[in-house]
């Protein structure tokens, strides 16, 4: 329904929705046809890590109405932050090894403005706090108690992030925990989202509760600009999910955007990003990373270490869960 409505609307403004510059003829006084460039606008696209179809649907709802990419990514990832069944984001996220849920998030706009919160507790929507950091302070990152205090000042409500389910799982984990960080490849449901709006502008957002049962105080890649997320409106954007330590070591998302700047497609850039990580981890198979990227033309791509990572894509052509190739071919 939504898609049909959008197509109907777009047929009235076809020139405004072309994805590349096109030539149009322009009559001059002496009737000679002279080509001139029609200003072209990229078709809207929303993509996110994993198969979070409700999140991309929300982002699309914003884009379809002509909303900007920044609002689309914020509102898109908020869907997962609010979903208690997603146990690695927002409310219902798994706690650290001390039983505290600590959230990391960042957001970046078309002008290179960015905001981030790390080790934030008791707040359901860290992405919106990150946006406030970006818009209402001269800073980029706020951490821990300071970030929480800032959130209250901005009107965010104190929320218990631990659910019955995550509390029980944590009690179970404690029995065998040996008080160590567990790094497996199943506990990755971080949402990183990238969108292009009808002006052709790109924005991105990334939000997570991080690795389950992490050492208290640990911060991953997700709120680190350049690691878990990077946007350059001239080139494209990239985001990551998986074991953040490895993404930080290669400044993964920035690397991918720079590779696209040098001419690689989003797909090629993501592959190169994963290969760089694997070069530093030769033979290591005990972790997952998934990269996702979009370029200015609206082309998308993804690549990961192990099979299993996919990404959701919403465009004029439909709403798909895209399969992603992996470095290791079998789990
Ligand atoms: C982190 N990259 O904190 C995150 C974890 C993740 O789904 O992606 N979870 O390292």
pLDDT of residue 12: 30
| Residue 320 clears pLDDT 60, i.e. is over it | yes
**Choice among 36-50, 69-83, 190-204 with the minimum mean pLDDT:** 36-50
Alpha-carbon span 256 to 264, nearest angstrom: 9
27 is a domain residue:
no
How many angstroms separate the first and last alpha carbons of the chain?
38
Token pair recorded at residue 278: 């694997």
The whole-angstrom distance between residue 130's C-alpha and the CA centroid of its chain comes to 13
Exposure string for 46-78, b = 16+ CB within 10 A, e = fewer: bbbbbbbeebbbbbbbbbbeebbbbbbbbbbbb
Helix residue ranges per DSSP H, 237-314: 244-249, 252-261, 266-280
Token pair recorded at residue 9: 């609307």
Q: Write phi, then psi, for 58 (nearest 5 degrees).
A: -65, -45
Out of 102, 185, 188, 240, give the residue to mutate to test ligand 1, the one with the largest number of ligand atoms within 8 Å of its CB. 188
% of residues, the chain, pLDDT over 90: 79
Tell me what the mean pLDDT of segment 183-208 comes to: 86
Which residues contact residue 275 at a Cβ distance below 8 angstroms, ignoring those fewer than 6 apart? 327
pLDDT by residue (tens digit) across 147-193? 999 999 999 999 999 999 999 999 998 888 766 655 554 556 799 99
4 is a domain residue:
no
Instruction: List the one residue out of 105, 224, 108, 114 whose CA is nearest residue 161.
Output: 105
Which pTM was predicted? 0.87
Q: Write phi, then psi, for 251 (nearest 5 degrees).
A: 45, 55
> Bigger pLDDT: 325 or 38?
325
Instruction: List the one residue out of 22, 61, 25 whose CA is nearest residue 44.
Output: 61
86 is a domain residue:
yes
Ligand 1 midpoint to CA 188 (Å): 6
Out of 94, 105, 211, give the residue to mutate to test ligand 1, the one with the largest number of ligand atoms within 8 Å of its CB. 211
pLDDT of residue 181: 57
12 is a domain residue:
no
150 is a domain residue:
yes
From residue 243, give the alpha-carbon distance in Å to each of 38, 109, 240.
45, 25, 9
Ligand 1 midpoint to CA 175 (Å): 24
Strands 45-49 and 191-196: antiparallel
Alpha-carbon span 211 to 82, nearest angstrom: 18
pLDDT of residue 3: 36
pLDDT by residue (tens digit) across 116-131? 999 999 999 999 999 9
| Residue 29 clears pLDDT 60, i.e. is over it | no
**Is residue 190 annotated as part of the catalytic site, yes or no?**
yes
Ligand 1 midpoint to CA 38 (Å): 43
Q: What number of H helices and E strands is found in the chain?
A: 9, 15
Say if residues 271 and 263 touch (Cβ distance below 8 Å).
no
Q: 126-136 and 69-82 are packed helices; what angle lies between their axes, rounded to 10 degrees?
A: 150
pLDDT of residue 189: 78
pLDDT of residue 23: 34
pLDDT by residue (tens digit) across 57-113? 999 999 999 999 999 999 999 999 999 999 999 999 999 999 999 999 999 999 999
pLDDT by residue (tens digit) across 208-248? 999 989 999 999 999 999 999 999 999 999 999 999 999 99
Give the binding-site residues of ligand 1, using a 6 Å CB cut-off. 88, 188-190, 208, 210-211, 220-222, 241-244
1 is a domain residue:
no
- The H or E element spanning position 60 is helix 53-64
Find where tokens 């895209």 sit.
322
For 93-120, give the DSSP string: ----TTS---EEEEEE-TTS-EEEEEEE
| Residue 37 clears pLDDT 50, i.e. is over it | no
**Choice among 39-53, 256-270, 277-291, 302-316 with the minimum mean pLDDT:** 39-53
Q: Is 197 left (phi over 0), alpha (psi -120 to 50) or beta?
A: beta
Q: Is residue 244 annotated as involved in ligand binding?
A: yes
Which domain CATH number covers 195? 3.60.20.30
Q: Domain limits at 215? A: 37-326
pLDDT of residue 202: 98
139 is a domain residue:
yes
pLDDT by residue (tens digit) across 249-294? 999 999 999 999 999 999 999 999 999 999 999 999 888 999 999 9
pLDDT of residue 28: 37
| Total domains present in the chain | 1
111 is a domain residue:
yes
């Amino acid at each position: 329904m939504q898609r049909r409505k959008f197509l109907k609307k777009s047929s009235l403004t076809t020139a405004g929705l072309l994805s590349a510059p096109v030539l149009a003829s322009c009559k001059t006084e002496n009737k000679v046809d002279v080509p001139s460039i029609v200003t072209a606008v990229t078709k809207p696209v929303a993509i996110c890590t994993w198969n979070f179809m409700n999140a991309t649907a929300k982002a699309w709802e914003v884009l379809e109405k002509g909303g900007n990419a920044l609002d689309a990514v914020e509102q898109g990832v908020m869907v997962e932050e609010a979903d208690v069944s997603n146990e690695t984001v927002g409310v219902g996220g798994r706690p650290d090894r001390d039983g505290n849920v600590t959230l990391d998030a960042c957001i970046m706009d078309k002008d290179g403005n960015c905001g981030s919160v790390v080790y934030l507790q008791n707040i359901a929507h860290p992405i919106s706090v990150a946006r406030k950091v970006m818009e209402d302070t001269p800073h980029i990152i706020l951490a821990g108690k300071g970030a929480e205090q800032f959130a209250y000042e901005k009107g965010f409500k104190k929320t218990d992030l631990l659910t019955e389910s995550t509390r029980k799982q944590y009690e179970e984990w404690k029995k065998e925990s040996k008080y160590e960080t567990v790094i497996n490849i199943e506990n990755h449901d971080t949402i990183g989202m990238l969108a292009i709006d009808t002006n052709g502008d790109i924005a991105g957002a990334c939000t997570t509760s991080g690795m389950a049962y992490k050492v208290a105080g640990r911060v991953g890649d997700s709120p680190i600009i350049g690691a878990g997320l990077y946007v350059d409106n001239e080139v494209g954007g990239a985001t990551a999910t998986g074991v953040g330590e490895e993404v930080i070591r290669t400044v993964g998302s920035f690397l991918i955007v720079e590779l696209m700047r040098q001419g690689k497609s989003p797909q090629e850039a993501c592959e190169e990003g994963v290969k760089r990580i694997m070069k530093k981890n030769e033979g290591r198979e005990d972790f997952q990373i998934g990269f996702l990227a979009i370029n200015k033309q609206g082309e998308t791509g993804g690549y990961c270490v192990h099979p299993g990572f996919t990404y959701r894509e919403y465009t004029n052509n439909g709403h798909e869960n895209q399969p992603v190739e992996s470095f290791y071919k079998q789990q």
